[in-house]
Structure 1
Amino acid sequence: MKLLYFDCFSGLSGDMIIAALLDAGADFNRLQEELKKLNIDEEYELKWKKVIKNGITSTKFDVILNDTKESLQHDHVHTDGHHHSHTSHTHEHTHSHTHTHSHSDGHTHEHSHGHTHSHHHRSYKDIVEMIETAGFNEAVEKMALDIFKKIGEAEGKIHGVSLDKVHFHEVGAVDSIIDIVGAAILLDQLNIDRFVSASVPMGTGHIHIDHGVYPVPAPATLEIMKGIPVQQSNLKAELTTPTGAAIVAVIAEEFGTIPTMKIETIGYGAGTKTFPNHPNVLRVIIGEQ
């Protein structure tokens, strides 16, 4: 049985997961081709490169929105704590947009870019329809839909609206769609039979979003993490984003230390932020059990 272990000592975000899978040998060209089925490829470009994080060679993955050509480090962004300061995003740019999204998760981010543009006001129903009509194989479609549902339910609970009424400012942003569907594509491509994860560090501190100053973990992330073992972290940063939390919450069957396995490949996915004494990377370990 092929097993994948998420060694998430620095948290999780959608882009860190994709980066770690690419680093472990997943096919970037396959990712690009499969994502074209969503029919939004004119809205973004994908970039990946090797970087060194505190001495560890890792892969960095970014979604660049064509309307601004600015790398939004999106979701991730936070992830690293950065919570994005969305700012980062600049892309937000300027726009006001910033908005909204913010949401709940504080993240605000992604959105940002939303920019103005329409895209970013995609509703939960819009995203479900986009995934269901794309023609992915059954495993990819189910995983992507389950992850979006997990985030949608958390957002709906936090904001007091039904799933049908949830608009994903942040999650509806192109980069989050890419992170979630892309993770499903790569995990399917790697033919993993079983997923196990370490307990998940959330980080500490506060993040600034449209709704004000929120504690870390942000409300939506915490809601998604119900039932999942979390671990203490002294890093003042948002280590785990809603997207990262939802991916692991949906696919991991067990949480704990590394299981007995014959290790075959290891991948390191870099986050956006750099910490002085802590490599901000997600490590995935793939092997036979």
Structure 2
Amino acid sequence: MRTLYLDAFSGISGDMFLGAMLDLGLDFDQLKAELEKLHVKGYRLTRERLAKSSIYGTSFDVQVAGGKDHGFVEHHHAADHHHADTAADHATHADHDQHDHQDGHHHHHGAARHLSDILDLIHASDLSDNVKTHAEAIFTEIAQAEATVHHMPLADVHFHEVGALDSIVDIVGCCVALELMDIDEVQASPLTDGSGFINVAHGQMPVPVPAVMQMRVGSRVPIQQRLDIHTELITPTGMGIVKTMVKDFGPLPENATPLKVGYGFGQRDTGGFNALRAVLFEKKN
């Protein structure tokens, strides 16, 4: 049995997860080929192997045509000219460069995808049933948290057009990676998050961000905070992956043989080593 252990000493995001999987040996061309089964266009995947603190790992990114206008939208009417830079924005965007929050956003008010649209798109794809089920579960988990945080019906939670594309590719990519790597189960360390506040388009947001905190409700996902890091480390995408995929939390497995170690780098400057370490184990009989 192949077990993936996520050592989340610096949190987790979708990009960090995919970077770590690529570093473990996930075939980049296979990943791209599987994502083509979604039948959506307008994005490009990039990867770069580099060293941080003299430790080599992989940085992964989803580049979307039209900029990085990401996230769930609070208001049902896109024409109100307010980009809802909510916690789910960070679900797909905190995995990327954070200067977008400071330099402004591209606004795409012409179209948006509701949760039901995204679930229909995934369901109608040529992906495996296993990937479809896992991706739909992650999207639903995040959307339910956002609906609660912003006190709105689940049916009204939706993405800007560009944000939906990035989110779909990111989240589905994580599910594809687990299948391509033949992972039987996922375990993790306790998660680590920062503290303080992050500034978003319409004000301040406490860390852990509200959607992440909401996803803790009714779960046993352990989160410890580092008071010396004043920024977000756990994105809602990362939390959605963990809550729907991880079965057990604790130290590194003792009765298993490590096969390989990989590092997926985060884009945020935390003042420390910002990476997700993933260890692939083969359990002993």
For normalisation by structure 2, the TM-score amounts to 0.85
Map Cα deviations across residues 102-124 of structure 1 (whole Å, 9 max, x no partner). 113463974976641646x2110
Aligned-pair CA distance for 1:168: 3.0
The answer to whether structure 1 residue 17 and structure 2 residue 21 are counterparts is no
In structure 2, relative to structure 1, the CA distance for the partners of 1:17 and 1:170 (3 Å cut) is farther
Whole-Å Cα distance in 1 between the matches of residues 114 and 49 of structure 2?
34
Contact 1:123 1:172 in 2 (8 A): no
Which residue pairs with 2:252 in the alignment?
A: 258
Choose from 141, 145, 148 the match for 1:150.
141
In structure 2, relative to structure 1, the CA distance for the partners of 1:206 and 1:156 (3 Å cut) is same
Which residue pairs with 2:34 in the alignment?
A: 34
Whole-Å Cα distance in 1 between the matches of residues 262 and 2 of structure 2?
15
AA paired with 1:64?
Q
Whole-Å Cα distance in 1 between the matches of residues 167 and 3 of structure 2?
25
Q: For structure 1, which runs of at least 5 residues remain unmatched after alignment?
A: 76-95
Q: For structure 2, which runs of at least 5 residues remain unmatched after alignment?
A: 72-78, 95-99
Aligned-pair CA distance for 1:181: 0.2
The answer to whether structure 1 residue 221 and structure 2 residue 212 are counterparts is yes
In structure 2, relative to structure 1, the CA distance for the partners of 1:283 and 1:115 (3 Å cut) is same
Which residue pairs with 1:78 in the alignment?
A: none
Whole-Å Cα distance in 1 between the matches of residues 81 and 50 of structure 2?
28
Map Cα deviations across residues 176-231 of structure 1 (whole Å, 9 max, x no partner). 21110000001011111111111111211111223311111111111123321111
Aligned-pair CA distance for 1:245: 0.6
Aligned-pair CA distance for 1:49: 0.6
Map Cα deviations across residues 55-110 of structure 1 (whole Å, 9 max, x no partner). 21110011112234xxx5979xxxxxxxxxxxxxxxxxxxx999533113463974
AA paired with 1:116?
H
Whole-Å Cα distance in 2 between the matches of residues 243 and 275 of structure 1?
19
Whole-Å Cα distance in 1 between the matches of residues 66 and 19 of structure 2?
23
Map Cα deviations across residues 225-251 of structure 1 (whole Å, 9 max, x no partner). 332111121211100100011001100
What is the aligned length? 263
SS at match of 1:207: strand
AA paired with 1:23?
D
In structure 2, relative to structure 1, the CA distance for the partners of 1:206 and 1:40 (3 Å cut) is same
The answer to whether structure 1 residue 241 and structure 2 residue 235 are counterparts is yes
Contact 1:98 1:109 in 2 (8 A): no
The answer to whether structure 1 residue 116 and structure 2 residue 108 are counterparts is yes
Whole-Å Cα distance in 2 between the matches of residues 4 and 97 of structure 1?
44
Contact 1:99 1:108 in 2 (8 A): no
In structure 2, relative to structure 1, the CA distance for the partners of 1:159 and 1:274 (3 Å cut) is closer
Contact 1:123 1:168 in 2 (8 A): yes
AA paired with 1:123?
H
Which residue pairs with 2:84 in the alignment?
A: 101
Whole-Å Cα distance in 1 between the matches of residues 155 and 166 of structure 2?
21
Contact 1:53 1:281 in 2 (8 A): no
